[in-house]
Amino acid sequence: MHEINRLIVVSNRLPNIELPTDNTERRNMPVGGLVSALRSALEEYGGIWFGWSGKTVSTGANLETTETPFGRMRLKALDLSRSEASLYYNDFCNRTLWPLLHSFPAKMTIKYEAHRAFRRVNRKFAEVVISSLKQGDVVWVHDFHLWALATELRRLGWDGPIGYFHHVPFPPAEVFGALPWAAEFLEMFLDFDVIGVHTRLYANNLRASLASEVKGAAIGDIFSHGERSVQINVRPIGIEPDEFQTDVDLDKSPMDEFVRGMPSDHKVVLAVDRLDYTKGITQRLTTFEYLLEHYPALRGKLTLIQISAPSRTRVPEYVEERQQIDQMVGHINGRFSEAGWIPIHYLFRSYNHDELTTFFRGANVCLVAPLRDGMNLVAKEFIAAQTADPGVLLLSKFCGAAETMDRAVIINPYDVQGTADAIVQALNMSLDERIARRDDLMVDIRRTTARTWFESSLRDMASTRS
């Protein structure tokens, strides 16, 4: 067992931390899956969190880091050049790897100069990280933006443990093989000691891709090629459910703005996503239009609240997605609105933890319907926030959460009629069944929390290399 001296976390971006003008600490790191879990791990073990600052400089990546103390951990921010940020992040990460990993290869763009920028930025991250490493440190890399980091750290001489967590889906081998550099990327996985994924399906897909492209051998959860091997573990990330069971004032919340004055039998369907074509928002709007067409008794009695947090606003595919959603919302509202009732409230903005909790508690149905998603913690947050009169979770079969949250109403978001019928089923569900489903789902949520995720992941990394 490798004794952990410090935990060194590396991710594409650092969490936002607001510091007052006198530079004293203010503990307001955002509550959310990765940030919440990693904050707990870093505060327990101490260490450093490296990431891109989000800032760009005119030429060349700035290898000088900006350091911010925060409790027992430090944050070290790296700047990138404008060219590298554009090619590495916008082009290769968001327009090549993101659609590929979510099984949308037709949306993938191939730019060789973007691939070179990706490798170059990973190399510069490695140069910054290794300058701070000490004997006994464990390096934990997060997500596909830094896929090449272990390879670059090994080239620089680091022989300590390096773990990697893959937060998004891993596609079938025949889909991943569409990447011109598929074999190169899979071989880079062998420079990590351990890889964590959310579900058994993703682990199986990854092993199949390795077997197809690298020609190694898998024995249990270990894949070997020559003298190198990597352990692939299923480690589903979770939430801290108690954080969603605090008291909130529903009468002084954003949710109240949309339900104030409505009759007691008025129903609310809620959806909370980042603006992204993988989230299935356009399919969801088509489903809601179908629902109003074929269940006319619901008109005037049902509202969809769609929260879409802004995301990647300069990437063309996301600009196009936003325009299409705006048009669809305008069309549906124009077609069905009546005096005192608008069918869809579309909110293109983010909300904080307490505000989202009020939305979760005020909704009769939460529609978590991505076309593909690594885990989706909104599903778990919604259930954790429920009280004595719980709402119903409708959950896409194509997100990682569905592997264990089978007591939700499982839907196929491509099936418009089937999803519309499932919404009606949820609206008519008895209180006893809603409570039973909520209670069963809470068992899974309490079993795999943010803490169990990072504790099991750290055990994996500590046990791989002496």
Listed residue (369, 303, 373, 378) closest to 102, CA to CA: 373
What is the CB neighbour count within 10 angstroms for residue 380? 28
Contact assessment for residue 231 and residue 190, using Cβ atoms and an 8 Å cutoff:
no
Using a 10 angstrom Cβ sphere, with 0-12 exposed, 13-18 middle and 19 or more buried, the burial of residue 83 is: middle
What is the sign of the dihedral through the CA atoms of 38, 43, 45 and 49? positive
- What's the sign of the alpha-carbon dihedral 77, 109, 279, 252? positive
Contacts of 371 (CB under 8 A, 6+ apart): 102, 277, 278, 279, 280, 283, 396, 398, 413, 414
Taking a C-beta distance cutoff of 8 angstroms, is the pair 9, 48 a contact? yes
Residue in this structure with the two tokens 């596909």, named with its chain if needed: 144
Q: Which of 137, 373, 444, 460 is catalytic?
A: 373
Active site residue 221: no
For residue 294, indicate whether it is catalytic.
no
Separation in Å, CA 241 to CA 427, 442, 443, 448, 457: 25, 9, 11, 10, 20
User: Do residues 345 and 272 make contact, with C-beta atoms less than 8 angstroms apart?
Assistant: no
Give the length of the chain. 466
Q: Which helix (H) or strand (E) holds 59?
A: none
Q: Which of 167, 198, 276, 444 is catalytic?
A: 167
The kind and range of the H/E element at 35 are: helix 33-45
In sequence order, the 6+-apart residues with CB closer than 8 A to the CB of 67 are: 74, 75, 76, 77
CA distance 374 to 171: 10
- State the Cα–Cα distance between residues 274 and 56, nearest whole angstrom: 24
Helix (H, G, I), strand (E, B) or coil at 242: helix
Q: What is the DSSP letter of 427?
A: H
Q: Active-site positions?
A: 167, 373
